[in-house]
Every structure is written in C-alpha cells, then in structure tokens.
Amino acid sequence: MNKILVTGAAGQLGTELTQKLCEIHGSEAIIASDINQNSSAKFSFCQFMVLDVMDKNSLRNAIINEKITQVYHLAAILSATAEQKPLLAWKLNIDSLLILLDLAKELKLDRVFWPSSIAVFGKESPKINTAQDAVQTANTVYGISKMAGERWCDYYYSHHNVDVRSLRFPGLIGYKAKPGGGTTDYAVDIFHKALAGQVFRSFLEKETRLPMMYMPDATKATIDLMQAPSDNITVRSSYNLTAMSFTPEEIFLELKKHFPEFKIKYQPDYRQEIASNWPQTIDDQYARNDWNWQQEYDLPEMTKDIIKNLPYWIDKI
Ligand code: AKB
C-alpha cells in the first residue's frame, strides 16, 4: 500500500491534518512523525514514528521501507520562536525542505506539501489585499526562510519535475494543540484565557489587523490543493490564501459576547513589530480560480465552534 508521511505531525496544523488524512485515506495509509517521542500519545489512531527531518538517511529509509509516495512536510519553527533562535530556525526550516525536495527527486515521490506563510511579505509590501505577486521583503528569520523555501519549491518543480505544492498560510487557529510560537498564536491563547476566566494579556496592540483562518478551513485547503489535478496548479511557489482578518480587539469583543466578564490588557512586545510588517488582508484569487478555494468559517462561527469544543480538549493538549 502507498503511504502518506506527515512530518512535524504533533504541531498545530499536523495534529488536525493527520486526523483528516486518516478519515480520507484510511488510518493504515498514514504515518505521523515527529522528533518528539512523547507525541506518540496523540496518534493512537495511526502509525507513529520518531523522525528527525534533518537526518537525510533516516528520512530516505522511512520513505523506502514504508513505501511512502506523498509527504506533508510541516516540521518548522514559527515566527516568534525563530527570532529567538535565528540560526536554528533557518537550518531547520530550509535544510529540512531541501533534504526532502532532493529525496522527492531521487525517489520520485508523487507529491509533496510544504506550508509557506504571509510572513514572506514585509514592510514594503502592500498591506491591504496583498496580491499573489506583491513585492516580498520579509524581515524576520521565519519570513526569509519561507521566501527562500518558495523559490526552492519552484526550482525543484521547474528543473526536476517534483510535484511540490504550497500555501501561504495566514494565522491558523485551532483548539487541538497548544499555541506553537507564532505571532498570530495570540488568537489561539485568547480562547484558553477566556475559558479559564483569566485576563488576557495581548502582546499585540488592539488595532493590529492580521489575516487568519480556522483550522478546519486550513486542512480543507491543504487537501483540496493536494487533490487538484496538476494542470490546474498555476502557482508553483506558494498560493496566497485567506479566510478572515481581525484585530485583537475584534476577537476579544467576539469572545465577550460569550464571556461577559472577560478582560483584556494590551502589553505589546517584540512581536508587535513582526505583525506590523505583515499584510492586513490578502488577495487569494489564484487559489479561488485554480482549485475553487472557498472558506467556511468567519470570526463568529469559529468562535462558537471553539468554545463548544475546547473544554473537552483542554486536558488532552
Ligand atoms: C506565525 O505567526 O509565525 C505563523 C504564520 C503567520 O506563519 N502563524
């Protein structure tokens, strides 16, 4: 049986994407992997392996021995953590991608998925309806790694015919994993504080608008892109993608409808500068035209759904 490998499966996107892939392809076809052995507890429903994506031989052996034909490569260090550990972030984010792209060429993988980010855009990029081909002037380590990674994806597609597909994710919000070191992760943490009856201390200013997406939409977009016929994919760097945009004040007010006593304090830190240089809204018409991208959730619907589900998950993450 041909199998699908997910790297960094214990992260925010990986946790939910792995479950979705199991629903679609059957659990026997999916292998979740992570560098952290303790993550195995999360994957009782499918095969799990400890895998260091920087170790090319281990990755090659896993692909050959397990007959893997597709890889979703999610292992990465996100923006806020990357600013604290710049060299490690660059090494992990870029070296692991290059190792995988090269193995995809050597072992003729059917398909590879790699997430990029709105972080490819920077201070000089337009902030409103940022277009697919808008100037990219990333000025964070994470953003620079995503910019370079996109060029490598395009290169391996055009020079070596590697069918690699990618999305420039906005902030992703889910309830099945803890915040993961991203600048947009305040929008995950705020739900935990509201539920716990605690004051939320926002590291972003109240008016900082950022593009965002609820996790079920992110997994749907990933799978829609991976299932699209190759001829429909006109962007081989990475597709702009969005679902909604909001500020810390707007999500706070949405939560206050459900938790009237909820309070927020604004204490911006170094992450404010990261967020201030990112787009506020994204133009994702290529994704909508090429493979019919359409989001399901807006801010009120996402908020209701998380409030309904988080109490069950809170002890498990
Ligand atoms: C982050 O905040 O680092 C990520 C992203 C926008 O790519 N969520």
Q: What is the pLDDT of residues 52-104, one digit of tens each?
A: 999 999 999 999 999 999 999 999 999 999 999 999 999 999 999 999 999 99
Grade residue 316 by pLDDT with cuts at 50, 70 and 90.
confident
Q: Spell out the SS3 assignment of the chain.
A: CCEEEEECCCCHHHHHHHHHHHHHHCHHHEEEEECCHHHHHHHCCCEEEECCCCCHHHHHHHHHHCCEEEEEECCCCCHHHHHHCHHHHHHHHHHHHHHHHHHHHHCCCCEEEEEEEHHHCCCCCCCCCECCCCCCCCCCHHHHHHHHHHHHHHHHHHHHCCCEEEEEECEEECCCCCCCCCHHHHHHHHHHHHHHCCCEEECCCCCCCEEEEEHHHHHHHHHHHHHCCHHHCCCCCCEECCCEEECHHHHHHHHHHHCCCCCEEECCCCHHHHHHCCCCCECCHHHHHHHCCCCCCCHHHHHHHHHHHHHHHCCCC
Summarize pLDDT for 122-153 with one digit per residue, the tens.
Answer: 999 999 999 999 999 999 999 999 999 999 99
Does pTM top 0.75 for this prediction? Answer: yes
Average pLDDT of the residues in 40-60: 97
Ligand 1 centroid to 184 CA: how many Å? 6
Atom 1 (ligand 1) nearest CA: 182
Summarize pLDDT for 200-229 with one digit per residue, the tens.
Answer: 999 999 999 999 999 999 999 999 999 999
User: Is pLDDT at 246 greater than 90 in this prediction?
Assistant: yes
Domains of the chain: residue spans and CATH: 4-170+213-240 (3.40.50.720), 173-211+244-281+297-316 (3.90.25)
Taking a C-beta distance cutoff of 8 angstroms, is the pair 156, 164 a contact?
A: yes
**Encoding tokens for residue 291?**
């493979």
Task: Examine the residue annotation and report whether 156 is marked as an active-site residue of this protein.
Answer: no
Taking a C-beta distance cutoff of 8 angstroms, is the pair 52, 39 a contact?
A: no
Atom number, ligand 1, closest to the C-alpha of residue 78: 3
Summarize pLDDT for 162-203 with one digit per residue, the tens.
Answer: 999 999 999 999 999 989 899 999 999 999 999 999 999 999
Ligand 1 centroid to 274 CA: how many Å? 10
Pocket test for ligand 1, best of 12, 77, 78, 118 (most atoms within 8 A of CB): 78
Catalytic choice (142, 186, 239, 297): 142
How confident is the model at residue 156, as a pLDDT? 98
Give, to the nearest 10 degrees, the angle between helix 186-196 and helix 248-258: 30
Q: What percent of the chain has pLDDT over 90?
A: 97
How confident is the model at residue 66, as a pLDDT? 97
User: Is pLDDT at 317 greater than 90 in this prediction?
Assistant: no
Taking a C-beta distance cutoff of 8 angstroms, is the pair 131, 240 a contact?
A: yes
Ligand 1 centroid to 106 CA: how many Å? 31
Closest CA to 122 of 142, 136, 102: 136
Residues with CB under 6 A from ligand 1: 78-79, 117-119, 142, 169, 171-172, 182-184
End-to-end CA distance of the chain: 31
Atom number, ligand 1, closest to the C-alpha of residue 278: 6
